[in-house]
Amino acid sequence: MVTRRGAAVFWAAVLGIAAAAHAGDTLRLYGEENVGTASGQFLKIPVGARPIGLGRAYVACASDGPVAFWNPAGLLRTPGLHGAFVNHTEWAADIDLDHAAYQWRTQNFGYAVSAAMLRSGEIPRTTEMHVEGTGDTFRADQYLLGFSLARAMTDRFSIGATVKYFQENLDEWETRAVLFDLGILYLVGVGDLSVGFSVRNFGPELQPGGAPPARDGYDVQSEFQKHPAPTEGSFGVAYTWDLARRVDLLTTADFNHPSDAKESFRMGGELGLGRILYLRAGFETGRDEGGLGAGFGLQLRRKQLLWRVDYGYSDLGSFGGMHYVSLEFSPLWDKERIRHGRVR
C-alpha cells in the first residue's frame, strides 16, 4: 500500500522539478531563442513505445529495452541479465525509424550495444526551374551505432555513459560525428522511488562534408558551416504506488532542457493490471502543438522467458500522430542471481 512517507517524498520531488521548470523560464536559459541552430535532429527522436506512452517522462524509470537511449545508468536495473529490444516508428512524411538494442549485465557492470536507422525513402529533386520535380530523386538517411557502459557505485547509485557514432547522408553530402551521453540513477530507499539525470548528445560540432558534382549556375562548395549537436539534459523522478493486490500505478515526471528549444515539463502514468496489461498516458508541456502521449503494453512470462509488446501514440500537432511498436525479449533463467531492481 501507499505510505505517507513515500507520497511526501514523491510529491516533494515533483514540486522540485516543477520549480526547476519555472526557474528555467525565470532565468531565460535561452533554449527557445536557439531554435533551429542545432544539427542532427534525428538524435532527438525518442525511442520506445513505453516512454512515448508516458509522455517521454522516462529518465528516472528507464530499466528496459530503450534504457541506453534515455539513461544508460539504468542498465543495472533491467529485468534479466540479458535482453533484446527492437522498435519501429512510423514518423511524419512516410519516414521510417528503426531501433535495436541488446544489453547484458553482471553484478556491478551493465553493457549495451544499440543501432538506429532513419530511412527517408526517395525524395523528388526540385530546382528553381523545375518546382514540380526534375524526374530525379535523392535520399536523406541517417544512422547511429552506440555502446553503453554502466557502473554500480553502491546498491542504490549507478552511473552510465554511451559513446555513439552518428552519420547523416543527404544527397551527395554527409555528416559524421562521435557523440556522448551520460546518465545517473539513484534509488532513494522509499519503495522504488528513483531519481534520474541524463545529458544526451554532447560532443563536437557537426559539419557536413563531401564532393557534390558541379551543376550549371552553382558554385561547388568545398567547406561547410558547423552547427552544434542537439544536446539536452533531463532530470526526473519516478515512484510506483501499490493500489491493490497485483494492481499498481507508476507515476513519473521529468524536467527537460534542450539546447535548441524551450524547456518542457513531462508527466506520465502507467497502470499495471496483474503484471500482464499496462495502460499508459502522459503529457509534455512547452510545445506549440501536440504533447499528448498514450499507449499500452502486454507482458508475458513463458518458461522463464519474459516477452513484452508495447504500442505508443504521440500527438505532434500539424505533423499528425506518430505510432511506435516495440518488442522486448529477456530470459529470466538467472533471475535468482539478480540483485538490482525488480521485475515489473
Q: Model confidence over 54-113: pLDDT tens digits?
A: 999 999 999 999 999 999 999 999 988 999 999 999 887 778 899 999 999 998 999 999
Domain boundaries, the chain: 4-212+224-247+275-337
What gap in Å lies between CA 235 and CA 199, rounded to an integer? 9
pLDDT one-digit tens code per residue, 300-335: 988 788 999 999 999 988 778 899 999 999 987 654
Evaluate if residue 21 carries a pLDDT over 60.
no
- 2.40.160.40, 2.40.50.140, 3.40.50.300, 3.40.190.10: CATH of 4-212+224-247+275-337: 2.40.160.40
Distance of alpha carbon 279 from its chain centroid, rounded? Answer: 19
Tally of CB atoms within 10 A around 269: 18
pLDDT one-digit tens code per residue, 111-146: 999 999 998 777 777 777 777 777 787 778 899 999
pLDDT one-digit tens code per residue, 133-192: 777 877 788 999 999 999 999 999 999 999 999 999 887 788 899 999 999 999 999 889
More confident residue, 344 or 250: 250
Closest Cα partner for 272 from 294, 247, 242, 293?
247
More confident residue, 141 or 51: 51
pLDDT one-digit tens code per residue, 195-224: 999 999 999 988 887 666 566 666 666 677
Closest Cα partner for 89 from 336, 299, 295?
295
51 sits in which H/E element: helix 49-53
DSSP state of 343: -
Question: How confident is residue 34, by pLDDT bands cut at 50, 70 and 90?
Answer: low
What is the reported pTM?
Answer: 0.83
